Amino acid sequence: MIHHQFNPSILREYDIRGTFNDNLTVKDAYALGQRFGFFVKSENGQSICVGRDGRLSSPELTSALIEGIRSQGMDVLDIGIGPTPMLYYSIKYFAADAGIMVTGSHNPAQDNGFKMALKDRPFFGKDIQKLDKTIPAYTSVIGALSTRTEVKEKYCERLLQDYQKSERRLKIVWDPGNGASSEIVEMLTASDLFCADHILLNTTIDGTFPAHHPDPTEPENLKQIIQTVTEKKADLGIAFDGDGDRIGVVDSKGRILWGDQLMILFAKEVLKDNPNATIIADVKASQVLFEQIKLMGGVGLMARTGHSLIKSKMKETGALLAGEMSGHIFFADRYYGYDDALYAAIRLINILQQSPLSLADIFDQMPKLINTPEIRIPCADSLKFSVIDNIHAQLKTKNATFSDVDGVRVTTDDGWWLLRASNTQSILVARCESKTEAGLQRLKEQLQEYLEIPILN
């Protein structure tokens, strides 16, 4: 048997991702199925759930992946098209040993990839790197294949299990962006349990993403939902990324609430019932969030960005809630501790239906610092980590105050600036935050000096 080699660029920190028929092929999908199946089998597992998003390349990749898994004598439960959190849920619902989601998440339409999970932990980092060297055993036994698309209804039922009926009826605009959560959004909003008026946008699953790119961290992609919210006088708008594990929210005035701002609402709710609970946020989060967690009686913990890394840190610390500025929200309070944007939407709607204030009122009352959104700087995968290492060394020689939990987060009298390498894209991610415009400008200038390129206005 010739050992198949993956293009090293697709083996990311917490998933596998590349451009279809460029550095990611059907042969990669088959080889991954073989090796992941072999790994799960070696851990005494027998069943693996497989789901996919709506990208044009997903059916072909999924078919090869399933064939590879079954070649190891492993059984496959094919759950069909749906969001990544539905794949996580299916592992629990069917008591399966593992799962693989075929998805390009929020990457461009021509990209695709695989997110993997084991029954009791995420599969990432060194696990993924080991797959490149794994040599699966030959077996004449072909695993069984069963179609288990009924999990969609069970998943919707589980989401609505934590929905609390209220006399306050909200008008909500939903935009799954033609992504994998589209059908689930339609099923949820059609439920008799839901006391709200719904306006749905872009709910036809379409891997060309005709309306806009499915990434709610880019304001450009929220223009349509903002326009609809303001025109229809809705209370809020809720958008999802391509595979439904990241949420984007706008208030009735069309203002975007980023993940760290939503976390203030979620933290308040969780801490009300769980005083002193640990709550995790990633290094991109505003200092306001950490200050608010402390004021509300919680323990704030700063962690590395990345869904697998956050899930591992939650398990390690017993945190009940975690979130990233990018819109990954993880509830271990009444839920399973993985990132599920649809579940986060239900929890947000509960909070608003039980509040005398509108989301716009809540947003107005939040403490405000002046900050940049995520600034994305193109940088080759082969260079991005060495750029961070170089700046890290410079900061040490200058005795700067900084955290190196993930990249570098530098604190000065003006506030802080962050620079980290993305684990999913060929970019560096920067952010700055200050109490004053002048302070923010100084932080930008300092960051620019270290980068030695003019990337900030």
What is the end-to-end Cα distance of the chain in Å, rounded? 55
Work out the angle at residue 310's Cα, subtended by the Cα atoms of residues 278 and 390, and round it to the nearest 5 degrees: 115
Residue 361 Cα distances to 65, 195, 427, angstroms: 48, 21, 35
Distance CA 229, CA 109 (A): 26
Is 308 an active-site residue? no
- Which of 139, 143, 159, 163 minimizes the C-alpha distance to 151? 159
Given a contact cutoff of 8 angstroms between Cβ atoms, the answer to whether 199 and 175 are in contact is: no
Tokens representing 218 are 């880019």
Distance CA 30, CA 152 (A): 26
Tokens representing 145 are 């294949």
DSSP one-letter string for 181-249: THHHHHHHHT-TT--EEEEE-S-S--TT-SSS-S-TTSGGGGHHHHHHHHHTT-SEEEEE-TTSS-EEE
Distance CA 273, CA 375 (A): 36
Given a contact cutoff of 8 angstroms between Cβ atoms, the answer to whether 55 and 72 are in contact is: no
Given a contact cutoff of 8 angstroms between Cβ atoms, the answer to whether 71 and 37 are in contact is: yes
Distance CA 280, CA 237 (A): 25
Distance CA 82, CA 80 (A): 7
Work out the angle at residue 337's Cα, subtended by the Cα atoms of residues 332 and 340, and round it to the nearest 5 degrees: 110
Contacts of 181 (CB under 8 A, 6+ apart): 82, 83, 240, 243, 244, 341, 342
The values of phi and psi at residue 285, to 5°, are -70, 150
- Which of 424, 420, 440, 169 minimizes the C-alpha distance to 287? 440
Tokens representing 168 are 């306050």
Name the catalytic one among 47, 105, 252, 326.
Answer: 105
The values of phi and psi at residue 90, to 5°, are -65, -35
Which residue carries 């959004």 as its tokens? 185
Which region, left, alpha or beta, applies to residue 407 given φ > 0 means left and ψ of -120 to 50 means alpha? left
- Residues carrying an active site annotation: 105
